[in-house]
Amino acid sequence: MDMTVSILTFWGAQAVLVERESMGRRGRATVSPEKAETQQKLAIQLWRRTMLSFCMLMATAIAAAQGTGSQSQTRTAGYMTEARSCATCHAAPVKDFADNPHAHEMGGKPMTCASCHGDAKAHIPSGDPAKIFDTAKASAQQVDAMCLTCHAGKHASFERSTHGRGNLSCVSCHSIHSAGAKKHLLLTAEPGLCYQCHGDVKPQFALPHHHPVKEGLLRCSDCHDPHGKPDERLASTAVQQNRVCTNCHTQMAGPFVYQHAAVTLEGCTACHFPHGGSNPHLLIKANVDTMCELCHKPVPNYATGVHIRTALDRTNPAPPCTSCHRQMHGSNTSDVFLSKDYGKQSIPGR
């Protein structure tokens, strides 16, 4: 096909050159009848060659399309033959499988029942389930190994993930044949699927302040990777938390000149509930000062310095910590995270 395109391109270019030369000559001098006749014959020959090349191009394209169609028909015929044998006993799974992503090619190979369940020659005569790969009876490791023969590229770290180490298999969450939620072939849609194991998390999304999971604006998998990541066990908890949270809360991502130690060492959950809570901003304490004093206690200069008002005047207490220390996630101007309104300052003697 490439050769045909080259031929077509070559002769088309030749025709253009001849025509340009002919026009140039006509512009410079009158062409004799003999030369005019010769040029006309040459133009006709070039035109014929161009049309011949075009026909060759079309014939090659049609042949290629027919070949692809024949291969597709052969693969379809092979699947249908196998499916008819399996449908004798497994009518419902075979029917559902036709509308399944697994019914398409994987890695250039057509997917059939045998792709996952193995050769059924020994199984068909007797129907003995022991003579075929049955995901319902296989171990989690066996099921995962079968699925990862095709899906290893995307989920290479599954065996090292929390779910993998917890002896869950792919079919714990996914359906091979038919699914309640067609996206990703989940047994049922999120978050209901996750609540089947993580029932303790569900009530947290009913609290006054929560991430909008029950509203359908967020999914569990937006924050949690159920298949694991290569660095899941290597990176610190704080790094993982910050990486996930700042996907949405980009203004907190930094990097900052002055990092808040709570963020870098403990992560976002040092101060915030991850799912839901009773306090605004998902804070772990109802009172901001109480939360800050979990780490910052005693308060610097509590009796004589800038924080003396809180200590001595209980009837007229000082405003909360965040009235001054507003850049608590990190700052580029203040090492004590003061508001930008105060300029580049630090508290002396702190």
Q: What is the pLDDT of residues 20-76, one digit of tens each?
A: 555 555 444 455 677 667 777 777 777 777 777 666 777 666 666 555 444 444 444
Q: pLDDT above 70 covers what percent of the chain?
A: 69
Q: How confident is the model at residue 208 (pLDDT cuts 50, 70, 90)?
A: very high
What is the model's pLDDT at position 142? Answer: 93
Which positions ≥6 away from 338 have C-beta within 8 Å?
Answer: 324, 325, 326, 327, 331, 345
Q: pLDDT above 90 covers what percent of the chain?
A: 22
Tell me how far CA of residue 296 lies from CA of 249, 291, 292, 293, 301, in angstroms: 25, 9, 6, 4, 12
Helix, strand or coil, per DSSP, at residue 153: coil
Give which of 279, 280, 289, 284 is closest to 267, Cα–Cα: 284
* Least confident range of 14-18, 148-152, 181-185: 14-18
- Tell me what the mean pLDDT of segment 147-156 comes to: 85
Cβ contact 61:1 at 8 Å: yes
Residue 213 confidence (pLDDT) above 90: yes
What is the model's pLDDT at position 278? Answer: 95
What is the model's pLDDT at position 126? Answer: 86
DSSP 127: -
Distance in angstroms (rounded) separating the CA atoms of residues 284 and 270: 8
- Tell me what the mean pLDDT of segment 69-87 comes to: 58
Buried b (16+ CB within 10 A) or exposed e, 35-54: eeeebeeeeeebeebbeebe
H helices present in the chain, as ranges: 2-28, 33-87, 91-97, 113-117, 123-126, 140-151, 162-165, 192-195, 220-223, 237-245, 261, 288-292, 308-312
* CA 12, chain centre distance (Å): 47
Strands 276-277 and 209-210: antiparallel
| The overall pTM is greater than 0.85 | no
**Tokens 């900052």 sit on residue:** 256
* CA 347, chain centre distance (Å): 45
pLDDT, tens digit (0-9, with 9 covering 90-100), for 245-256: 999 999 888 889
Give which of 289, 311, 304, 290 is closest to 350, Cα–Cα: 304
Helix, strand or coil, per DSSP, at residue 331: strand
Q: N- to C-terminal Cα distance for the chain?
A: 78
Residue 134 confidence (pLDDT) above 70: yes
Distance in angstroms (rounded) separating the CA atoms of residues 210 and 277: 6
How many CB atoms are closer than 10 A to CB 14?
15
Residue 114 confidence (pLDDT) above 70: yes
* CA 47, chain centre distance (Å): 53
pLDDT, tens digit (0-9, with 9 covering 90-100), for 279-323: 999 999 998 888 888 888 766 655 555 666 554 455 666 678 888
Q: What phi and psi, each to the nearest 5 degrees, are found at residue 107?
A: 65, 30
Average predicted confidence (pLDDT) for the chain: 77
Domain map (residue ranges) of the chain: 1-32+39-58, 252-342
Cβ contact 228:297 at 8 Å: no
What is the model's pLDDT at position 173? Answer: 93
Helix, strand or coil, per DSSP, at residue 271: coil
